[in-house]
Copies of this chain bind each other. A is one copy, B any other.
Amino acid sequence: MTIGPLRARLADGREILYFDDDDHPGRSHDASDQRPLDAVTTDSQLRWDPLAREWTVLAAHRQGRTYHPPADLCPLCPTHGDRHTEVPEPAYDVVVFENRFPSLAGVADRRRDAPSPNDPATELCAPGTGRCEVIVPTDDHEATLPQLSVARIRTLVDVWAHRSDELRRRDDVAVVGLFENRGDAVGVTLHHTHQQLYGYPFVPARTSRLLAAARDHRGRTGRCLVCDRLDMERSDGTRIVSAGDHWTFLVPYAARWPYEVHAVPHRHVRGLPDLDDAERDELASLWRDLFARYDGLFDVDRLPTIAAWHQTPSFEPDGHVYGQAFTLQRDVGKLKFLAGSESSFGAWILDVTPEQAAEALRD
């Protein structure tokens, strides 16, 4: 049973939250941050691209962020003696804190919609408000998801739900995006397993397209698009990787990425906070199992993967949450890169069929 959060502040005023799997009698969570940190300053800006009609985030101050530190200087490890890190405690289960190099920070009075097209001179830029949190699910520098206990991942699911719920209640947050990047090939700058939560002040470009398709389908059919796709995939069966009473993990019919998997709850719920206990229990088990399957695909230590949760925008009454995971490894010794076709035109070329991917992940 998840205990927490216990809330504290780092030396520069950033919030830190501790969540425990269970009562740890020796842990007080009252260590204070001894570092002489300057306050975090950001000068992020949102800029509107009228050619593609999307916001981009300009975060030039992040160029100086920590980049591949040696293991003994890992800022996500617990603090021991004089070795001060981002986490003042000597041990933790799951810890969450505001990113020291946030792409988005601060509060606005409302979320950012598209600028008025009839007045292109106004609102082409806006402050880069929002929130960037780091979620660290283990104080073990080397452990990756499949090495954590199901109990710990169950705590983690509660943390995802807690943080998503708190952020989606903000008027200036449009979408709560949760993701985990793993592996050098994904550009991970900190080796210690961690996830990131972004409270976007605008609807990101891809989320906006997913939303438009879902609204249109609902309008035409009265049904949920994600529910309909799930029904189709469950009756077909060839692209299912794993399943339980509450979840189906499947390779989408038109996957864009190698070994892409969607984790879909059977019940029509908007976001992670809306999952009940039985759904969270099963998710913890299946999510851990999925990453063990990824690690078994090729003979690679820490297969480069990206995982994300697509939650319903906070202003949208209807939606169906799902997880997404994929690897950038398309074969033994071969990575998938985004080149001109993907980057410039948005035309994805996939080398592995979804049916082959599902079969490889099932076995």
Chain A interface residues toward B at CB < 8 A = 47-60, 62-63, 67, 103, 117-118, 120, 124, 175, 177, 179-181, 185-188, 196, 198, 200, 204-210, 212-214, 216-217, 220, 225-226, 228-229, 252-257, 306-308, 310, 324, 330-331, 334-341, 343-354, 356
Contact = CB atoms under 8 A, between A and B. Distances in A.
A262 B209 CA distance: 25
A318 to B, nearest CB: 15
Given A56-B349, A205-B347, 9 more contacts: A50-B213, A51-B213, A51-B252, A58-B350, A58-B354, A60-B353, A103-B341, A179-B340, A179-B341
A189 to B, nearest CB: 9
Contacts of A103: 341, 349
B57 A339 contact: no
B346 A204 contact: yes
A198 to B, nearest CB: 6
Contact of A310 (B62, B204, B344): B344
Contacts of A331: 63
Contact of A54 (B118, B226, B336, B346): B346
B344 A306 contact: yes
Contacts of A339: 179, 181, 186-188, 306
Nearest to A345: B204
Contacts of A257: 343
A226 to B, nearest CB: 7
29 contacts: A47-B253, A47-B254, A47-B354, A48-B254, A52-B209, A52-B210, A54-B346, A55-B254, A56-B349, A57-B348, A57-B349, A58-B353, A60-B351, A63-B351, A63-B352, A103-B349, A124-B253, A124-B254, A177-B344, A179-B345, A180-B340, A185-B337, A186-B337, A187-B336, A187-B337, A198-B347, A206-B346, A207-B347, A257-B343
A58 B352 CA distance: 7
Given A49-B254, A205-B346, A67 B217 contact: no
A89 to B, nearest CB: 27
Contacts of A335: 187
Nearest to A324: B344
A349 B228 CA distance: 33
B196 A56 contact: no
Contacts of A124: 253-254
Nearest to A304: B337
A319 B205 CA distance: 23
A336 B186 CA distance: 10
A187 B177 CA distance: 28
Given A56-B255, A220-B118, A50 B225 contact: yes
A143 B344 CA distance: 24
A213 B200 CA distance: 23
Nearest to A208: B346
Contacts of A187: 335-339
A52 B213 contact: yes
Contacts of A200: 345, 347
